Amino acid sequence: MDLFSRRIVGWDFGLTMDDGLVLGALRRAIRERQPAAGLIHHTDRGGQYASGRYRAVLRRAGIQQSMSAAGNCYDNAFMESCFGTIKTELELVEYRNSAEALRELSSYIRYYNTERLHSSLGYVPPAQFEAQQAPAKAA
């Protein structure tokens, strides 16, 4: 999630929670945003985020990793809140198969980024908020 706009920029779907899953999300975010060196990327302390492969991708992209303090969920509060919102609004059910689950998640993330109103953004969706900010960044 881009903390500035609350837009979900990197995500992936998988049946296991290993570094391959989070690497897919990280690579997607890097392709989407092409961040300048020095970007701070915050994660929790899960082993997949501490893996050598994950840290190597961050290093190659010039991204600085920041990890939550042990046992402190508040360090990653924005992402924890986002996960809570997704779980509540997506109304997770048992899907017939992983393809159906992927379709539902993909559709929800499109909605989240382009239609869902965010109080912290003045009640506009992340995509609209970013579009409104674009002229200010160029000035």
Tens digit of pLDDT for each residue in 95-111?
Answer: 999 999 999 999 999 99
For position 130, what pLDDT does the model report?
A: 96
CA–CA separation, 104 and 41 (whole Å): 27
More confident residue, 25 or 93: 25
Q: Is the dihedral of CA 7, 55, 34, 22 positive or negative?
A: negative
The reported pLDDT for the residue numbered 73 is: 67
Q: Which CATH class is domain 19-138?
A: alpha beta
Nearest-CA neighbor of 56 among 29, 13, 27? 27
Q: What is the pLDDT of residues 38-85, one digit of tens each?
A: 999 998 888 999 999 999 999 999 999 998 777 776 777 888 888 889
Task: Name the average pLDDT for the chain.
Answer: 91
